[in-house]
Homo-oligomer: A and B are copies of this chain.
């Protein structure tokens, strides 16, 4: 059966492509800020393909169209793409072409590839360009594919921004900007462009509500040694925000004006005493190529070009000279031409420092105020999870567990969390996965399509909240009744991994790669692995996934390694996923703390922030080592001591029983 809605949308898009002379259109799942989750307004990939998963890329040629997604979504995508004429490409499966390779085959030499330059990062564009090099492909980057076709498109979110008080943030925006400018100076950059929303919010102590579960507002920031300019949507700027901005010397400008602002040559002219060296004719721009969008880079290039031309008597000659001069550091900074009608324009490469934004590193190391808040916050969040587990326990005890669905459990958990004083919203959609559903790492129960609980097997709940005092994330897996011996063994090995990592002592200088094996070893010893990282960083009232630190055994595909610093927060979440049978994940959030300093070095360790018991019904003591048994008992004693005061008497009794020494 044909899906006429999608067919007609694609037909409209192809008509538009034909008018614009575009042979293939690339439509990723992205907003102009390289956000992990994107607002409804930016769901053009979903609009044109009908595929509703959170992650995927659509490419539309004159005749063929393809959608790429990963293993989480193969079954769903197959169902949703049926009758659309869009072919499903299963990422990572053998023989499946990559998006650039497929596009390359669709295009004739000299053809035109279209994409919205705001929704493709410089890094992604370069990967594409590399595959297409030597083919004389034109890049047409100034059209939004949905314009004029998606008539009932939700408006761009533009919710009011609010200021995060210093009692929560722990450091003023001015102080943070001072640190950023120091980093700019060290890199020889005179301008810093930030488009990643969590970085921007952290730096300016602002928060928004434009993306579900991530309290950020759409915006861009441009910073020089003298100026700080924030580009926000009109309706996001409350009086309070205007007053705050005025107080700290932050210029507010309209969101969409960032592009023309960056094209202004005066921005790049070094004032005396600027950071750039004397030889340089324009200020060097610091940006992160993995998050800066192509249109921003094009605007920077145009602005720098104009600054060079305006400064010299013989623009043609001087431009050539600059190209040669800059090529050492700047060659890589070439973006797409910026639009079909511009493709003939010759532009010098951008004069840039391309690297991880200094804010990524700053915001990962929580300050003393943030840490105090976070510790309190995790205690209350953990108490809510304990109360949820007690509620489940009561249903099991009373034989009523079968009356509940996965969604009922998720709703109960969410309601308990919402009851916490400074709760803002969930930090992601609660995962409540029963039985075989838990084998899918990112399973989402839906009304009308979710499992009913039964008094046997295991329920996995992965959830978290956004609070003024921080962002939480926690996973526990619990028995709802009888379980198999293999389930207990796998649960215990997962617990041992979780505890071994939690208990690690390591020298300063270690990254997540050094310690990852402590979480995997019990499973690897039995030839079992989980196909994901062991841990990720977590924001402060920001993204539940944040870098640069990561606990993984290898780093591929642009993932960066970072040294573990005291004040960083990481998750510790080993698991076992047996397709069609069950899934186990135990996720405990850890804070990096100092342990000892002596002649042998500076030793660090972890301290758990999450204080929720493991399920003793799933622990098989024969797989514990004396150390992990001791670590489990120590952890449980702390859980009992710190969480009991936050519980009702019956819950407290239950917690005491759950945390009895093994």
B600 touches A527 (CB 8 A): yes
Residues of B within 8 A of A625 (CB): 625-627
Q: Mark A520-531, 1 if CB is under 8 A from B, else 0.
A: 010011011101
- Identical chains in the assembly: 2
A553 touches B517 (CB 8 A): no
Q: How many angstroms between the C-alpha atoms of A305 and B529 in the bound complex?
A: 54
B529 touches A507 (CB 8 A): yes
Known: A513-B513, A514-B513. A524 touches B554 (CB 8 A): no
CB distance from A632 to the nearest CB of B (A): 15
A504 touches B529 (CB 8 A): no
B525 touches A505 (CB 8 A): yes
A510 touches B595 (CB 8 A): no
Residues of B within 8 A of A601 (CB): 529
A598 part of interface (Cβ distance < 8 Å): yes
Interface residues of A in 518-570 (CB under 8 A from B): 518, 521, 524-525, 527-529, 531, 553-554
Smallest Cβ-Cβ distance to A531: which chain B residue = B600
A148 part of interface (Cβ distance < 8 Å): no
Known: A513-B513, A553-B510, A626-B626. A505 touches B527 (CB 8 A): yes
Known: A625-B625, A626-B625, A627-B625. A598 touches B527 (CB 8 A): yes
A414 part of interface (Cβ distance < 8 Å): no
A102 part of interface (Cβ distance < 8 Å): no
A509 touches B554 (CB 8 A): yes
Q: Residues of A within 8 Å of B, CB-based: how many?
A: 30
Smallest Cβ-Cβ distance to A510: which chain B residue = B553
Residues of B within 8 A of A524 (CB): 504-507, 603
A20 part of interface (Cβ distance < 8 Å): no
Smallest Cβ-Cβ distance to A625: which chain B residue = B625
Residues of B within 8 A of A473 (CB): none
Among A514, A518, A527, A625, the most chain B Cβ lie within 10 Å of the Cβ of A527
CB distance from A578 to the nearest CB of B (A): 10
A516 touches B514 (CB 8 A): yes
Smallest Cβ-Cβ distance to A530: which chain B residue = B600
Residues of B within 8 A of A506 (CB): 517, 524
Residues of B within 8 A of A528 (CB): 600
A596 part of interface (Cβ distance < 8 Å): yes
Given contacts A505-B527, A517-B517, A517-B518, 14 further A-B contacts (CB under 8 A): A507-B524, A507-B553, A509-B554, A510-B517, A510-B553, A514-B517, A518-B521, A527-B595, A527-B598, A528-B600, A529-B600, A625-B625, A625-B626, A626-B626
27 inter-chain pairs at a CB distance below 8 angstroms, sorted by A residue, are: A504-B521, A504-B524, A505-B527, A506-B517, A509-B553, A509-B554, A510-B517, A510-B553, A513-B513, A514-B514, A514-B516, A514-B553, A514-B554, A517-B517, A517-B518, A527-B595, A527-B596, A527-B598, A527-B600, A527-B603, A528-B600, A529-B600, A529-B601, A531-B600, A625-B625, A625-B626, A626-B626
